[in-house]
Amino acid sequence: MRIDILSLFPNIFDGFLTESIIKRAITNQKVEINVIDFRKYTTLNNNQVDDTAFGGGAGMVIMCDPIVRAINDIKTSDSHIILLDPKGTLYNEQKALKLKEYKHLIIICGHYEGIDERIKNYVDEVICIGDYVLTGGEIAAMAITDSVVRLIPGVITGESLESESFNNGLLDYPVYTKPRIYDGYEVPEVLLSGDHKKIAEYRQKEAERLTKENRPDLWEKYHD
């Protein structure tokens, strides 16, 4: 898979691309990730990419032209183009699984007051990662990239993926490690029993309990 991220602030991604699972995925050639400064594609003086909003209002608006030029330069017949915008469809694990199937993702990071609305004529979908506003789309791009890359076969173990939150419509069950007792807090006895059936039943019940308590929206869907 190839992922191209269009951003005005490519240095933000330095640590993200050089640590942990993402770094290993790149090193092992499971994914190619490029961060492209679309300011390079402007035809205006002083590398200008934004201007004031028609109709007035606070903040500057990013113009379509430099982004469209960047898209046209890098897109292929396999490209799927994503705009990050608070007005987009809410992101979730199911969407990550769908995005994993594309050979080439282009992710557009907005900034300032946003991007000229007409950019939506050049993208395949608009995604929002949550009901809050960020300074720019870079953090959202990292979140989507991370959630997709870890699903690529060979990046992490299949067993780890199977037991994660959301895969069965529930949050993940709680996990424990050594020591058995820490500061007076004990590991649940059933996890020490060696009885795999009882352990599975316990984990299922805990997953259901946590989902019901913390994510009633997921719990409602789980019972539909």
Beta bridge pairs of residue 36: 6
pTM of the model: 0.88
7, 59, 133 from 111: Cα distances, Å: 9, 10, 11
pLDDT digits (tens, 9 = 90+) for 98-111: 999 999 999 999 99
Distance of CA 204 to the CA centre of its chain: 27
Q: Is the pLDDT of residue 223 over 90?
A: no
Domains of the chain: 2-149 (3.40.1280.10), 163-222 (1.10.1270.20)
The whole-number average pLDDT for the span 178-205 is 95
pLDDT value at position 169?
84
pLDDT confidence bin for 180, thresholds 50/70/90: very high
Beta bridge pairs of residue 6: 36, 108
pLDDT value at position 145?
98
pLDDT digits (tens, 9 = 90+) for 40-96: 999 998 999 999 999 998 889 999 999 999 999 999 999 999 999 999 999 999 999
pLDDT value at position 138?
98
Q: Is the pLDDT of residue 199 over 70?
A: yes
Integer Cα distance of 140 and 148 in angstroms: 12
pLDDT confidence bin for 162, thresholds 50/70/90: low
